[in-house]
Structure 1
Amino acid sequence: MKLFKYIFWVAGAALILTGCSKSLEKINRNPNEAETVQPDYLLTNGIKANVDTYWGTDASMETSMLYVQYWAKIQYTDPDKYIPAATSIQTVWNNFYAQGVKDFTTLAQLGDSLHNPNYKAVALIMRSWIFQTLTDLYGDVPYSQAANIEKYPTPKYDAQKDVYIGILAELKTAVGLISPAGNPISGDILYNGDLTKWKKFANSLRLRIALRISDREFATAKAVFDEIGADDAGLIAANTENAQLIYQASPNQNPVSKNRETRSDYRISKSIVDKLRSFNDPRLSIYAALPRDTNVIIGVTNGLPTDSASRLGLYRTSDAGAVFTVNTAPAVLFNYAELLFIKAEAAQRGLLSGDAADLYKQGVTASLKQYGISDATTIANYLLQPGVVYNTVNYKQSIGEQKWLALFGDGLEGFAEWRRLDYPVLTPAYQGNLGGKMPYRLTYPSGEQALNGVSYKAAVAHQGADQLITPLWFDAQQ
């Protein structure tokens, strides 16, 4: 009898507590706050936040832009000497996972629940682009168990090979889902709802990744090229189709422009100025600004000692040109020139049919035209220079140097392709902190060591020492 009384008492208490809990939930509910996510808002915010990270201070200005010697520093020079701030490494990781992978995973799920596969397709494309960026930078990263913290609070790190092959499959799925004649999407600040362009972006990304793994997985890469082919109807086919976010006035300005509002510690690198000059390249006056005091374009050597860099002053060396520093400067994720250079290398290596030399010339021309250099005589004369003429014997030098120039401003992609092609030949930072070597990756953030230690240690054991100089799987030449 006492047992039954106890059971009834517990049951009654539970009912009271449940009622209290529901009352509290009702009281604490904000009537002005949406309880379901709207896909258009999620898409807009997802694109803006992740492109900001991609072109922002931590992933670009303080790391990749310096490593690939697009920019240099005249103040606070530690990052230019390969001493990145721990906060930069952590911020890149946190932003891409929390604001990128998580948000686009949610958007993909919304695409299913709303019966709009076009939202799911766009979400898969953006998420794949983010995963490509993450693995390019760090190597082995959480992929298959990412964005599911309820089930996997300490996700495993997938091998870089598996990440690339996984996102190739996701991009193929996304292409199959896209239906330009189907339900429209809203909130698209990248392509303004043009689903045909999203399909071209996805296929172009597939070719980028296939080429990136081709030194390790030639057969896999060949299968992708065989499937997609060279048909411009399914690929980025003009500068007007570049994947890029066009920024607006403050507070929605380009991250580079926003940075220049309060800082003046970045300058164009001497390495790229020297290369542009050696080619009599008309992009020099576009990529670099004239300093106020010298009125001559002057690049800065990477990795100068702090005192030497400071003595250069603020007005005697060149910042990046206005095309990159104005409020509305576009943040480019994939340009037409890159796609043509991909085709050229693929043709040279037997991954794709076509004339490699002609595709290379088309790539150079597309880059020049991207920056308003359209005069046919100027372009023809540029292509005839000995240093620019396509070198079949050393195609990696020709493509590597011109691709490096065409990707200026896009530090992350430029850094990845420089590692893969080993051109241009760059001299390590003057006072570099890596014993005469250059970085090949970012180290994992300290937060992973503290919160996901078992998975972190397994990744290091598989990939190699958690150091800037540890080459990644795709970089087969190292």
Structure 2
Amino acid sequence: MLKKIAPLIILVLALSACNDQLDEININQNATEHPRAPFLLTGVQKQGADLYWGSENNYGSTLLFVQFWASIQYPEADRFDLANTDFTSLWNKGYATLITDLNTIINFPKEEANDNYKGIALSLRSWVFLLLTDAYGNIPYTEAGQKMTPAYDTQRDVYLGLLKDLATAQSLLNTSAEKVTGDVVYNDDKGYADIAKWKKFTNSLRLRIALRIADREPDLAKQEIINVVNDGAGLISSNSEIFQFIYRSSPQQNPIAAIFETRDDDRISQTIVNKLYELEDPRLSVFAQLPSDNSVGKYVGLPNAVDNPSSWGFTKTSKPGAYFLKSESPAVIFSYAEVQFGLSEAVARGFITGDAENYYKQAITASLNQFGVTDTAIVGRYLRQPSVKYNAANYKKSIGEQKWIAFYGQGLDAFAEWRRLDYPELKAGSASVLDGKIPVRFFYPGTEQSLNGKSYKAAVENQGEDLLTTRLWFDVK
């Protein structure tokens, strides 16, 4: 009997030893088992900038929708010939990476992440949720990260929830409290986060969201903007306080620069080139390059969604400006110009007192300065043009057209503001496939139908068909 048991004991011990070895082998020695707040913060900022400034959310969709760019080859996206598989990265990375990592910081005990970390994380999470709802409409918000199949919140509830989250973030941020490291956006000369600037960014984001709901919930929008304007923390107040991610050399370069290193698929749109020529806008030489064929001698935009766009000539049409194709070009996420346009609109709507035209002029000046136009004579001449002058009787047109120009490169937010303000008046290209319409939202990713079908179906029933042409709650025509 003992002779029979002994081999079994030896086998069990051998298997146990193998399991111990396998456990060790399966440990990734390069991975952090317990992430730290500074590293998570740095990662979110870099990955968030990449998501916002590059990939399918910007140069593969919204830069085409708002007619900043046009496709000279592979024109399917420019023609709106798109499927739900074309709109996955914002959703997948937004939830699985950015929101997950930010929730980790928010849920850390205080000894691992002080209140300033949590305030920054809450502000950044609000920004990510805002991108998601602006693009898709109803989204998982309350139950996001809490359940495997989260319910979708209505867009109204998401916006109102984000305003509350940002108010909480503002209360957590304290310039006299503990330091924050790992911030590569608003870091000071000692490598610590500049909490005063984070407080300004948080208020600026509140202003942006308040204007998103202004056509639907004017009383709530008015009160929120009054609260923001009266908050002593202030708003982004100069170009030196722009919220932007500064890229470095390859492989950490601007994603637009990276794509143009190996591809030549896009040109600047004829729509914006014509508008900038019409306004004698000095930003044209920043936004576009002269065609490589020297005989052309002027900026030539490519019409959006035309048959055989390559026939316009790769060497005879303008690429996006060299400013945007440098490895170190910044991913601008929130500009000083946007704040000034927002204040101008708030005055025009009667939400706050002030001079709407003066804010409007300051916004345009800020945008010109941001793109290197600093000569006061040039700026003054531009502002005096009748076609640029503020029109109080149609503030949406004045602000909408100039804000569109100022947002060049920021496809997701230009797309949101164009839908909200209805200016400029864009027309779909002749070869587009949506019966003369331009998309007004993203498709939900196809995986939502298979993995979260019940919640997806309820969202569609509430919001409308899952089509590119279904208007979202904030988008009042």
Q: Same fold (TM over 0.5)?
A: yes
CA distance in 2, matches of 1:80, 1:260: 18
In structure 1, the residue matched to 2:313 is 313
Checking the alignment, whether the CA contact within 8 Å between 1:269 and 1:301 is kept in structure 2 is yes
Asked if the contact 1:164–1:209 (Cα under 8 Å) also holds between the matched residues in 2, the reply is yes
Which residues of 2 match residues 23-422 of structure 1 at below 5 A? 28-29=26-27, 33-110=31-108, 112=110, 114=112, 116-148=114-146, 152-192=147-187, 193-229=193-229, 233-293=233-293, 294-305=296-307, 308-422=308-422
What per-residue deviation string (whole Å, max 9, x for no partner) do you get for residues 333-391 of structure 1?
10000100000000011111110011101111111111111111111111111110000
Answer whether contact 1:230 1:352 (CA < 8 A) is retained: no
Of 27-36 and 194-203, more deviation after overlay is shown by: 27-36
Considering only aligned residues, what root-mean-square deviation do their CA atoms show, in Å?
Answer: 1.9
Give, as a single letter, the amino acid of the residue that structure 2 aligns with 1:128.
S
Secondary structure of the 2:447 match is helix
Deviations 1:37-67 (A, max 9, x none): 1111111111111210111121001111100
Alignment correspondent of 1:3: none
Rounded to whole Å, the distance in 2 between the matches of 1:344 and 1:144 is: 33
Secondary structure class of the residue paired with 1:311: helix
Inter-partner Cα distance in structure 2 for 1:288 and 1:132: 29
Partners of 2:196 and 2:456 in 1: CA distance: 40
Give the deviation of 1:25 after TM superposition.
Answer: 5.2
Contact 2:83 2:443 in 1 (8 A): no
CA distance in 1, matches of 2:391, 2:420: 18
Report the Cα distance in structure 2 between the residues aligned to 1:244 and 1:129, rounded to whole angstroms: 13
Residues in 2 aligned to 1:280 and 1:420: alpha-carbon distance in whole angstroms = 26
Quote the Cα distance in structure 1 between the aligned partners of 2:231 and 2:93: 35
SS in 1 for 2:393: coil
Structure 2 residue matching 1:80: 3-state secondary structure: coil
SS at match of 1:394: helix
The one-letter code of the counterpart of 2:106 is: A
Residue 435 of structure 2 corresponds to 435
Distance 1:102 1:440, change over 3 A: same
Residues 159-188 of structure 1 deviation map (CA, whole Å, 9 limit, x = unaligned): 000000111111111111011221111111
Partners of 1:430 and 1:374 in 2: CA distance: 39
SS of the aligned residue for 1:267 comes to: strand
Mapped to 1, the partners of 2:334 and 2:232 lie a distance apart of: 15
CA distance in 1, matches of 2:355, 2:214: 19
Cα distance, 1:33 vs structure 2: 4.2
Q: What is the CA–CA distance in structure 1 between the aligned matches of 2:149 and 2:173, rounded to whole Å?
A: 33
Q: Distance in 1 between matches of 2:233 and 2:463?
A: 39
What is the distance in 1 between the residues matched to 2:28 and 2:385? Answer: 67
**Structure 1 residues 32 and 329: alpha-carbon distance in aligned structure 2, compared to 1, 3 A threshold:** closer
Stretches of structure 1 that go unaligned for 5 or more consecutive residues are 1-16
Q: Residue in 2 aligned with 1:4?
A: none
TM-score under structure 2 normalisation?
0.92
| Secondary structure in structure 2 of the residue aligned to 1:396 | helix
1:458 is displaced (CA, Å) by: 0.3
Structure 2 letter corresponding to 1:177: L
Counterpart Cα distance in 2 of 1:303 and 1:240? 38
* Amino acid across the alignment from 2:221: A
Amino acid aligned to 1:385: Q
1:6 aligned residue: none
8 A contact 1:59–1:88 mirrored in 2: no
CA distance in 2, matches of 1:237, 1:28: 51
Measured in 2, the distance between the counterparts of 1:232 and 1:366 equals 22
8 Å contact from structure 1 (residues 79, 85) kept in 2: no
- CA spacing shift, 1:336–1:21, aligned 2, 3 Å: same
Of stretches 18-27 and 29-38 in structure 1, the one that deviates more from structure 2 is: 18-27
Distance 2:466 2:84 in 1: 13
Q: Secondary structure at the match of 1:333?
A: strand
- How big is each residue's C-alpha offset from its partner over 1:245-291, in whole Å with a ceiling of 9 and x where there is no partner? 01000000001001101111111011111111111111111111111
Give 3-state SS (helix, strand or coil) of 1:182's partner: coil
Task: Determine the C-alpha separation between the residues in 2 that align with 1:21 and 1:411.
Answer: 52
Evaluate the alpha carbon distance shift between residue 448 and residue 286 of structure 1 in structure 2; reply closer, same or farther with a 3 A threshold. Answer: same
- Change in CA separation of 1:29 and 1:311 when aligned onto 2, cut-off 3 Å: closer
Local SS of the residue matching 2:61: helix
TM-score, with length taken from structure 1: 0.92
> Counterpart of 1:203 in 2: which secondary structure?
helix
